[in-house]
A and B are shown apart, each in its own frame.
Chain A
Amino acid sequence: MSSQPLSQNQEYFELNLGPQHPATHGVLRVKLLMDGEYIVDAEPVLGYIHRMHELMGENRSWAQYLPNMGRLDYLSALSYNLGYVELVEKMAGIEVPERAEYIRVITTEMNRISSHLLWFGAFVLDLGGFTPLLYAFDDREQILDLLESVTGSRLTYCYYLFGGCYNDVEDDFLSGCLAFIKRMRTRLPMYHNLVTKNVILRQRLEGVGPVSAEMCRKYGATGPVLRGSGIHYDLRKNEPYSIYPELDFDVPVYPEGDSMARFMVRMDEMEQSMRIIEQAIAKIPEGPVMAEKVPKMIKPAAGDYYHAVEAARGTFAIRAVSDGKNQAYRMKLRSPTFSNLSLFQEASRGMLLADGLAFMGSLDLVIPEIDR
C-alpha cells in the first residue's frame, strides 16, 4: 500500500480514519500510515455504501433512472438532476421552454448556495468551531423551505423532467428567493467578519494542503478545488449549457492552492450564485414549463452521448451509450468528489493529522457521490 519504503529504525503505525469517524461526514474510510502525528501515507478505502448507481442506469428506463440522480450528491441534488435531464434531452432532441430553463437555473443555484452553506458549517466544525454550523443551517433552512415549496422535497430532489420542470413556480417563490438573497447579503459579511478573519482559522488554512494545478490535472480535480489552484475553469463559462451564457457572473479564482483559497472560492461562489439568481428572476419570461411533445417512452437513437454540468463540487458528467432501447446500454457517471478525493493521498503526505483533516474538509467530500 505504501509507496514509501519503511526505514528500519522508523516505527510507523496504521490508523483507521473511519468508516465511522466524526470528520469524514459519512462512511469514508481512510487508512492512514502515521509517524506520530504525521501522515506518512493515506489510502482512501471506498465501497462501504456502494449502491451500483451505474448498473442501475443500465437496467431501468431513462425516466425511472431520474430519481437516482438526487441520491448521488444529496447536498446539491438539483445539479445532478439538471445534468441528467439535459443529457436525455440532448439524446432525444427535446426542446425545453425558456421559462423552464430559467426555473432550472434559479433552483440549481439556490441548491448550490445551500450546499456551500452546509460545507461552510461542516468545515468550520472540522476545525473545532461549532457555532458557524448552526448559523449556516439557519440560512440553509430558508433555502430548503423555498425549494420544498416548489419541488415537494427537501433534500433528494427530483424536480426536473425531460422537457421541463415538474410544475411551475409561483411569484411567492421568486420573491422568497429575493428576500433570501437580501438576508444572505447581510449574513455573508458577518461570516467573513467572524470566521474568515479569525486568526486561528487563517493559521489553520493558509499554506495548508497546497494543491498545484498540475496535481489537479493529474487527478482530474474540478470545481472549487481546481479554481482554488488558480485555474479559471467553470463549465457554466467554458462549456455553457442552459441559459448561463445570457447571465452575467464571475468565476472566483484564487491562485494560492491552499485550503484558504478553496475556502474563499466557495464563499465567493455563493455571492456569484446570488447574482445569477437575481438576474434570472429579473429576466424570467412567462410561458409553459413543459415541452409540448415529450414521448412517453424515450428511445434515443443509438450512439454515444456525453453531457457535463458544473455541480457544487465540480464537473459532473454523464456518458451514456444508447442502443436505441428504452434504457441505457452503458451508463458512466463522472462525479467530481471522487476525483477530488483521489488527490488526498498524494497531497496529504507529510501533513499533521489535524492539518490532514482540515485539508480533507476543504475538498468538500460527499461520500455517497464518491461511492456511488
Chain B
Amino acid sequence: MDLGINVFEVFIYLVGFIAFAAANAAYLVWVERKGAAHIQRRTGPKEVGPYGLLQPLADGAKLMSKQFIIPEGVDRPLFLLAPIMTMVPAIMIFVTIPFSETILARDFNIGLLMILAFASVNVLALLMGGWASRNKYAVISAARVVSQNIAYEIPMLIIAITIVLITGSMNLTEIVAGQAGGILHWNLLPTNGNFLGPITFIIFFICSMAETNRAPFDLGEAESELIAGFHTEYSSMGFGLFFMGEYANIVIAAALTTILFLGGWYSPLPETIPYAGASSVAWFLVKMYLLIWMVVLIRWTYPRVTLWSLLNLSWKILIPFSLFNLLASAGLVKFLG
C-alpha cells in the first residue's frame, strides 16, 4: 500500500519538475527577450499571442521540427550524450530544492552537497559537447568553460561551507528554518548575527552567475568571439537542450541563493501581517524571480570580460576573500554563537 502512494508521488514530482524546468526555460527566454527589449527600447516578441506570450511555444515547435544534424567526423556517442547530460542533472537538482515546507520531493540531510555535486556535472557536459563537435571554436569554448567553472566552483564551495558553518546544517529545509521570523533574520543581512552576510552573498551571487555561464561571464558562448561556443555544431533539440539546461541552471542558482540567503519561503514581513506575512511558496518564487530578473538586467548592461580578468577575479579576489570569510565566520561561530 505504502509503495503505491510513493510511486504515485514520485511520478507527480518527476513530471512536475520536468514541466517546471521546461516551462521556466521557455518563459525565461520570453522574459529575457522582453526584458532586453525593454532595456533597449524595443518591443520584443509581440506577434505570436498576446504580448508574444506564445512565442516560446512557437520557438519550441520550430526547434523540435528541425533536423538534428550530426556533422561528419564528430564523436557520435559523446555528441549525442552531451545535451542530455546538461539537462538530467538540472532536473535531478530540483528534487532537493524545497519550494516550501510542504512542496519538496525529498528531504535530504545533505541537500546542499547534492546540489553542488550535480551542478558540477554540467561542466562535463559542456566539455563533452565542445570536444565531440570537432570544431575549433567549440574546443576553445570547452576549454574556457572548464577553466572558468573550476575557478568559480572553489569560492562557491567555500561559501557553501561558510553557510553550513553558520547554520550548522546541510539540510536545505533546516537552513531555511534557521532564517524564520522576517527579513532581519535572513543570512543575507548582518542583523542575523553574522555581519559577514552581505559579503558572503555577493561572492556567492557572482560565482553562481559565472557557474551558469551568464553574461558578463558568458565566455563559453561569446558569440562575437566563438560564434556559439560549445553548441556551435548543435541544431534542433540538441541546441534546445543546451538552452533549456542553461535556463534550468539559472533557476537552480536563483533558488539556491534564495534558500541560502533570502530566507526561502519565509515572508520578509513580520508574521502578524495577514496574507503577506505568511510564509508560502509564493514568497519563494517572488524572491527567485527577482534574482533571475537581476541576472537578466546584468546581462543586458555589461560587456563581456576576458578570460584572464575572469580568472583573476576568481583566483586573486574571490577565493582569498571567501577563505578569509570562512575563517572569520568560523571565529564568529566559535566565540559569539
Q: Which residues of A contact B (CB under 8 A)?
A: 13, 15, 21-23, 36-37, 124-131, 134-135, 138, 198, 200-201, 203-204, 352-355, 357
Contact = CB atoms under 8 A, between A and B. Distances in A.
A174 B215 CA distance: 42
A129 B302 contact: yes
A13 B134 CA distance: 13
Most buried by B among A13, A130, A134, A357: A130
20 contacts: A15-B136, A36-B143, A37-B144, A124-B303, A128-B222, A128-B302, A129-B302, A129-B303, A134-B41, A135-B41, A201-B303, A204-B305, A204-B306, A352-B307, A353-B140, A353-B225, A354-B225, A355-B306, A357-B224, A357-B225
B300 A131 contact: yes
Contacts of A203: 305-306, 309
Nearest to B40: A134
A84 B304 CA distance: 41
Interface residues of B, number: 28
Given A200-B309, A204-B303, 17 more contacts: A15-B137, A22-B224, A36-B143, A37-B140, A125-B224, A128-B216, A128-B218, A128-B304, A129-B303, A129-B304, A130-B40, A130-B300, A131-B300, A200-B303, A352-B306, A354-B225, A354-B307
A130 B221 CA distance: 14
Nearest to B302: A200
Interface string B293-316: 000000011111111110000000
Contacts of A353: 140, 225
A228 to B, nearest CB: 19
B316 to A, nearest CB: 14
B42 interface: yes
Contacts of A127: 224, 303-304
A71 to B, nearest CB: 26
Contacts of A15: 136-137, 140
Given A37-B307, A128-B215, A135-B40, A354 B302 contact: no
Nearest to A195: B303
A138 B41 contact: yes
Contacts of B301: 129, 131
B223 interface: yes
Interface string B127-171: 000000000110010011000000000000000000000000000
Contacts of A37: 140, 143-144, 307
A13 B305 CA distance: 24
B133 to A, nearest CB: 14
Interface of B: 36, 39-42, 136-137, 140, 143-144, 215-216, 218, 222-225, 227, 300-309
Nearest to B228: A22
Contacts of B41: 134-135, 138
List the 9 closest pairs (A to B, CB-CB), nearest first.
Answer: A128-B304, A129-B303, A134-B40, A127-B303, A23-B224, A128-B303, A354-B306, A126-B224, A200-B303
B166 to A, nearest CB: 31
B305 to A, nearest CB: 5
Nearest to A194: B301
Contacts of A355: 306
Contacts of A125: 224
Nearest to B219: A354
A213 to B, nearest CB: 27
Contacts of B307: 37, 352, 354
B303 to A, nearest CB: 4
A357 B226 CA distance: 10
Nearest to A14: B136
Contacts of B140: 15, 37, 353
Contacts of B227: 21-22
Contact of B302 (A23, A134, A138, A198): A198
Nearest to A352: B306
Given A22-B224, A22-B227, A357-B224, A134 B303 contact: no
A138 B307 CA distance: 32
B36 to A, nearest CB: 7
B4 to A, nearest CB: 52
A184 to B, nearest CB: 16
Contacts of A204: 303, 305-306
Nearest to A16: B136
Most buried by A among B41, B42, B224: B224
Given A13-B136, A354-B222, A130 B306 contact: no
A138 B41 CA distance: 9
Contacts of B309: 200, 203
Contacts of B222: 128, 354
A291 B41 CA distance: 45
Contact of B224 (A128, A198, A201): A128
Contacts of A200: 216, 302-305, 309
A267 to B, nearest CB: 16
A36 B302 CA distance: 26
A23 B304 CA distance: 14
Contacts of B224: 22-23, 125-128, 357
Nearest to B42: A134
